[in-house]
Structure 1
Amino acid sequence: MRHLEGVSDAKVNFGAAKLTVSGEATIDELEKAGAFEGIRVRPEHGQPETPVSFWKQKANWNVYASIVLLITSLLFAGVAGMDHPATTIGFLLAIILGGYSLFQKGFRNLATFTFDMNTLMTIAVIGAALIGEWVEGAVVVILFAISEALERFSMDKARQSISSLMAIAPKEALIKRHGEERSVHVSDIQIGDVMIVKPGQKLAMDGVVISGLSTINQAAITGESVPVTKDIADEVFAGTLNEEGFLEVEVTKRAEDTTIAKIIHLVEEAQAEKAPSQKFVDRFAAYYTPAVIVLAILVMTVPPLTMGAPWDQWIYLGLATLVVGCPCALVISTPIAVVTAIGNAARNGVLIKGGIHLEEAGGLKAIAFDKTGTLTMGTPAVTDIITFSRAEHDLLSLAASLEKSSQHPLASAIMRKAKDEQIAIQDVFEFQSITGKGVAARIDDVRYYAGSPDLFTELNIELTASSAEMIDQLQTDGKTVMVFGTDLGIEGLIAAADEVRPVAKSVIRDLNQMGIDTVMLTGDNERTATAIGKQAGVTEVESKLLPEDKLNHIHRLREGKKHIAMVGDGVNDAPALAAANLGIAMGGAGTDTALETADIALMSDDLSKLPYTVSLSRKALRIIKQNISFSLGLKALALLLVIPGWLTLWIAILADMGATLLVTANSLRLMRNDKKHPDHY
């Protein structure tokens, strides 16, 4: 394809079954150039082909025909004898039909002195035919063809992780233009168009709600099992399901820039990127294949030349050695596991951006967390209301009335609490903001103050011993305390804190049980950081850190030979994310920066995906190691049969096929995680 006129480069991503061509070429030209490999091409955004059942695929027809010919020839041989010309022709036709694609590749490789599994099999089958082993030659070809068909089946299964993502978003949407509603293909929808989404419909584009209220099932994008309420100004994503309300959504991204499109693109890139273990296997195979050829030659020649053994017997054993040595199972041992695991993670709301990052997650010894917005909710909430001279309801009404004009985050927390409790807000007069300390205002001819304990000290309003003790205790618990009172004395305290996420404690516990140290890095003061760290259950807390201090701490942890991940929001923590062995971003669905900068993006703000990711990665690593052991172990056992001269072509191909089947079935176990919610890792 690279040699086509107008084409500057061409790349094939086998994991995604995707061809990327730089330059210009027609579909017919590309298919003609790839005809040797039987490549079929269709445009990426074109109409997808109707899936054909595995059993009905054209690539398998030759296998069926060769099986029929083999059985017919064996039955005929029982009547006319193995030496009858018709029997020989039947076996020959079975070999040619079953091994057609194999011989195509094998002869081409022989012409260019390229030695791979196709070359080894071609030599072995031709050799078997030359020494009169027609039946075994035909059986070997058929079993090899079946083995390749099973490889295709397993790769198709693994690729479904991408194709299922592609099918999530509708191809058309109902758009309101010039006062009319019309169905428009996503490629023709423009930014700024208004999309009508009825109950029970999926969203075709990313956008912002401009009218309506509904709950949206975002599981396809973020992996969240609980639907999320969406109101005006909330962001919504293509591929999510509108459950009950009628929505009007202003489109904010083109079809190719939607979150789901980016996820698909990143998953495809990730599946194309080779994992370290895959690179090792490729390097090993480069030496392994020539070594097998040398071993086969030695098996064929050494016993006859040194011990006078019969040539035909040892040539046959040498051919069987070639078949055993086919590195089919070894070559697919890693990529099929990586492709399956990354696809599974993507469907469960975890975007892993390459095989290398998948393997890194499995080897983690420590995970560092940013505090605000990662271990905590990111916004303060009222935690305690303590009254001294009036009812709690009245104190909250007073506080909300004073704070309604303030811009302080703690004022917002009090206003949210008052709204939740349906507290009435009173009119205030002579409002005054006291910078850095609090606010003051008159309500019903009484001047009230709200602010830090220091404000009341400056105003010479005495704190009682009991109130001072309560303030100290609340601050020790990591809470910020606001004092409320008049010139005559203190009337109550309201404490607020950035609350720890509900799942944080269980997630940290699970990570610690998995043998992973947990570290919290924050710019907060030591007292607050210690309190939050204690609530979350992390093993280490580092406070008063500037961004560069976080970076230095990550470096120190890595120098201590700890394989470390950093979990943050992908923006403020970018240096630390980059410095860690693995950067993990929270809430990737809403931020392009998180998708682009992190190695792994948790598509929702759901920490429970973290143990799931580590667990999936460890399982993938175990399976990769098992696959390599299976593929090499079975071959080693079969090769040992050469010594007593027991190895046959039948045993050789069954050992090769058995290893391929084992590797395939073992890798596809990684798909089982999507049978249950990822929280149940």
Structure 2
Amino acid sequence: MTPSSPGPAKTPQFAKLKLSPLSQSDACCESAACDAPQAAPEIAARLSWRVEGMDCAACARKVENAARQVPGVSQAQVLFATQKLLVNAPDEAREAVERAVNAAGYTLLDSRSPAVASSGWRDWLPVLVLAVLMLISWGLARINPSFGTLAFTATTLVGLWPVTRQAIRLMRSGSWFAIETLMSVAAIGALIIGATAEAAMVLLLFLIGEQLEGWAANRARKGVSALVALRPETAVRLRDGQRESVALETLRPGDVIEVAAGGRLPADGRLLSPCASFDESALTGESLPVERQQGEKVAAGATSVDRLVQLEVVSEPGDSAIDRILRLIEEAEARRAPIERFIDRFSRVYTPAIMLLALLVMTIPPLFLAAAWQEWIYKGLALLLIGCPCALVISTPAAITSGLAAASRRGALIKGGAALEIVGRVQQVAFDKTGTLTAGKPQVTAIIAEEGLEESALLAFAAAVEQGSTHPLAQAIIEEADRRRVAPLRAKAQRTLAGTGLEAEVEGRIVRLSAPDKLEIALPERWRQRISELEAQGQTVVAAVCEGELLGTLALRDTLRPDARDAVERLRKLGVQSVMLTGDNPRAAAAVAGELGMDYRASLLPGDKVAAVNELNRRAPLAMVGDGINDAPAMKAAAIGIAMGNGTDVALETADAALTHSRLTELPAIISLARATHRNIRQNVAIALGLKGVFLVTTLLGMTGLWLAVLADTGATVLVTANALRLLRKGR
């Protein structure tokens, strides 16, 4: 059937999206560590690889640092979401870059090679081994303290081996004070003063955190690869009247392909068949199938709803609508500076400063003041223990872990501490319409029958004509008839009227369903006025005609989520502004935005959404909430992307957070929780550094020694952990 349309259908204009090569201004990581020149000279090639072994966004900076050490490299940028390393350098530098990155502990593969699946439990093997050794050491310490000390020392050395080896690799590649260096210094310092159990525990917690971050990163990358799944691996090409199955890469502009009903388009094409309906929701966000006429363009990834169609290919291999969306995601990722963990940044100054201070305390008084070596070595060791970053290492992750756990209890999955911190800074929220603010499924909202005909009779005629159709509007009419328990009528001789609608013989009479503007009869003024009012409200109208006489109309609409209005109001109370970005037509968008009292922008393609998000994001931190593949680039361009739990795999995996129960009312609750977590982190850092500062002074004055130094470190750890656990109450 052909739904009425408030305006002409818009063909996705993905050909307008021109993505420029990685520029110096866009690609620069914008961190203090970036030493790329502001104006790069001309280069012979733009090299690319896929990087294996990155656990977090901080790893991206380490890979970039390693690549920049190679002579001839003028620019290095890691696109963390797609695991790509892009390097501006002559082609002969390829092997040198690969050697440099491999020496830093990461693996470079061909950018077109498939991702290697995680080995599962084997990734956790070092953590399990260290945990078992910790339990054995604890048991020995209960029986014999001396044996326990030796056991904890051996356990620490086992855990230190991979961490210290990676720290040395990173030092050689230019990352002198990475978090691996921080952990090595902390563990070795604890061993020196005999805090063997604490040294082993720090390493265990660090390894667990690394594995969890690696798991989350792998999950996020799977979402990008799901874009490719929108295209079939093969296509049916027509040549000299013969059908042949060919690989997607062999299609060229001008080829004629055939797509069966329910099949996806492998490439952008121009419709050769007289007319057809296509589900383009994955690309444009339009909730209802769009009718395309002969000669109109249809984007790759769209689904032919109800018939076999023929199209002429208009896109080059690797340049279809899906490919462009993927590049939009990468471009948005390239413009964002790599997210660095707080402890990794702080360690650049903290770790060398503590080591230098401890060394000065051990050597200056004996050398220049004739003080006793033993006394000042003792004070230096105590200072080193005070400087042990155990409390600092735990302070931020403890708060983040509690915040993430509380969020999960409320039905929100937030992918990491950086995402949680950004959620707390959000001052604007951009919503997609279909499937986010609305249910994403059309429903019958009004049945208006001609005088002398009951609503149930009109619905029975319409449902009979629609029987067997897979069109979403047809399904909505049939479901409404079932819900009202309308007695079914028999229909036969059903047929589709190209570009007009459907008709069938019902109870011996020909009944036709069509859009009002496709009717062959003139409508009375009162009916035209009613239909205009319904369409002005963003509703789709279907007219039923029997043998030249109007039976009535049915109005259908994608209805608001029950909690949408409440969620927008709660956001307003938090000082967060709301705006709707949608691919739907302006009248449908205006109707929904009017009910919610928010601003809106309509008829947006994926590239338009990215531009709108970038504009809004420049004013204040913006969260983008959506559920479709078309929302994925905008989610990446926003300060934070939030997906609905009932959305597509790509939206869920591309986003930094997801509302797993699809309850919009949890969004303001999560923003409040994120703000509380950020306050908790500041409190924890103040506790950890404050206690260390106090004991630093008392140790130098000789008022405290090793035992109180241990208490300063472990006491601060206990305090920051207890403070972080308070966040769990907010998840109830």
Partner of 1:649: 706
Secondary structure of residue in 1 paired with 2:703: coil
**What code does the residue aligned with 1:502 have?**
P
Query: Structure 1 339/495 Cα, relative in aligned 2: closer, same or farther at 3 Å?
Result: same
8 Å contact from structure 1 (residues 106, 122) kept in 2? no
Q: Is structure 2 residue 346 aligned with structure 1 residue 284?
A: yes
Partner of 1:639: 696
8 Å contact from structure 1 (residues 482, 493) kept in 2? yes
Partner of 1:556: 615
Secondary structure of residue in 1 paired with 2:525: coil
Query: Structure 1 308/481 Cα, relative in aligned 2: closer, same or farther at 3 Å?
Result: same
Q: CA deviation at 1:287?
A: 3.0
Partner of 1:389: 452
Of 103, 106, 117, the match for 2:186: 117
| Distance of 1:104 and 1:523 partners within structure 2 | 56
8 Å contact from structure 2 (residues 130, 204) kept in 1? no
* Ranges in structure 1 where 5+ consecutive residues have no aligned partner: 1-8, 15-40, 70-92, 126-140, 166-273, 677-681
Q: CA deviation at 1:305?
A: 8.0
| TM-score calculated relative to the size of structure 1 | 0.58
Higher RCO, 1 vs 2 (CA within 8 Å, ≥6 residues apart)? 2
Secondary structure of residue in 2 paired with 1:572: helix
Q: CA deviation at 1:99?
A: 6.2
Query: Structure 1 667/348 Cα, relative in aligned 2: closer, same or farther at 3 Å?
Result: same
Of 475, 478, 502, the match for 1:412: 475
* Ranges in structure 2 where 5+ consecutive residues have no aligned partner: 1-50, 57-118, 172-180, 217-336
**What code does the residue aligned with 1:657 have?**
T
Partner of 1:625: 682
Query: Structure 1 515/49 Cα, relative in aligned 2: closer, same or farther at 3 Å?
Result: closer
Query: Structure 1 626/581 Cα, relative in aligned 2: closer, same or farther at 3 Å?
Result: same
Of 535, 539, 542, the match for 1:482: 542
8 Å contact from structure 1 (residues 480, 495) kept in 2? yes
Partner of 1:499: 559
| Distance of 1:281 and 1:106 partners within structure 2 | 19
Secondary structure of residue in 1 paired with 2:642: strand
Secondary structure of residue in 2 paired with 1:495: strand
Alignment of 1:304-323 (within 5 A): 316-323=378-385
| Distance of 2:590 and 2:52 partners within structure 1 | 55
Secondary structure of residue in 1 paired with 2:686: helix
Query: Structure 1 333/538 Cα, relative in aligned 2: closer, same or farther at 3 Å?
Result: farther
Q: CA deviation at 1:581?
A: 3.2
Q: Structure 1 residues 473-482 or 590-599, which shifts more?
A: 590-599
8 Å contact from structure 2 (residues 644, 652) kept in 1? no
| Distance of 1:562 and 1:444 partners within structure 2 | 62
8 Å contact from structure 2 (residues 544, 551) kept in 1? yes
Q: CA deviation at 1:120?
A: 3.4
| Distance of 2:658 and 2:702 partners within structure 1 | 55
Q: CA deviation at 1:622?
A: 3.5
Partner of 1:517: 577
| Distance of 1:510 and 1:442 partners within structure 2 | 52
| Distance of 1:444 and 1:116 partners within structure 2 | 86
Q: Deviations over 1:6-56 (max 9, x none)?
A: xxx997979xxxxxxxxxxxxxxxxxxxxxxxxxx9964999999999999
Alignment of 1:253-402 (within 5 A): 276=339, 278=341, 280-299=342-361, 316-338=378-400, 350-387=412-449, 388-402=451-465
8 Å contact from structure 1 (residues 463, 490) kept in 2? no
Partner of 2:589: 529
| TM-score calculated relative to the size of structure 2 | 0.54
| Distance of 1:55 and 1:379 partners within structure 2 | 55
Query: Structure 1 460/474 Cα, relative in aligned 2: closer, same or farther at 3 Å?
Result: closer
Of 716, 722, 725, the match for 1:659: 716
**What code does the residue aligned with 2:589 have?**
A
Query: Structure 1 59/622 Cα, relative in aligned 2: closer, same or farther at 3 Å?
Result: farther
8 Å contact from structure 1 (residues 161, 347) kept in 2? no
CA RMSD of aligned residues (A): 5.0
Q: Structure 1 residues 653-662 or 418-427, which shifts more?
A: 418-427
Q: Deviations over 1:546-589 (max 9, x none)?
A: 2322222122223x24323333335233332333333334347x
Q: Structure 1 residues 640-649 or 147-156, which shifts more?
A: 147-156
| Distance of 1:629 and 1:277 partners within structure 2 | 20
Q: Deviations over 1:268-288 (max 9, x none)?
A: xxxxxx99463x422422432
| Distance of 2:385 and 2:127 partners within structure 1 | 36
Secondary structure of residue in 1 paired with 2:443: strand
Partner of 2:489: 426
Q: CA deviation at 1:495?
A: 1.5
| Distance of 2:699 and 2:154 partners within structure 1 | 29
| Distance of 1:436 and 1:10 partners within structure 2 | 51
Query: Structure 1 534/100 Cα, relative in aligned 2: closer, same or farther at 3 Å?
Result: same
Q: Rg bigger for which structure?
A: 1
Partner of 1:219: none
Q: CA deviation at 1:383?
A: 1.1
Partner of 1:61: 139
8 Å contact from structure 2 (residues 130, 159) kept in 1? no
Partner of 2:636: 578
Q: CA deviation at 1:381?
A: 0.3
8 Å contact from structure 1 (residues 341, 670) kept in 2? yes
Partner of 2:26: none
Query: Structure 1 118/51 Cα, relative in aligned 2: closer, same or farther at 3 Å?
Result: closer
| Distance of 1:121 and 1:503 partners within structure 2 | 53
**What code does the residue aligned with 2:352 have?**
P
**What code does the residue aligned with 1:410 have?**
L
Q: CA deviation at 1:491?
A: 4.7
Q: Is structure 2 residue 532 aligned with structure 1 residue 462?
A: no
Q: Deviations over 1:415-439 (max 9, x none)?
A: 1100111212334577675555545
Q: CA deviation at 1:658?
A: 0.9
Query: Structure 1 56/43 Cα, relative in aligned 2: closer, same or farther at 3 Å?
Result: closer
Secondary structure of residue in 1 paired with 2:630: coil
| Distance of 2:566 and 2:424 partners within structure 1 | 20
Secondary structure of residue in 2 paired with 1:333: helix
Query: Structure 1 43/404 Cα, relative in aligned 2: closer, same or farther at 3 Å?
Result: closer
**What code does the residue aligned with 1:633 have?**
G
Percent identical: 38
**What code does the residue aligned with 1:282 have?**
D
Partner of 1:198: none
Secondary structure of residue in 2 paired with 1:641: helix
| Distance of 2:703 and 2:126 partners within structure 1 | 50
Q: CA deviation at 1:528?
A: 1.3
**What code does the residue aligned with 1:515 have?**
G
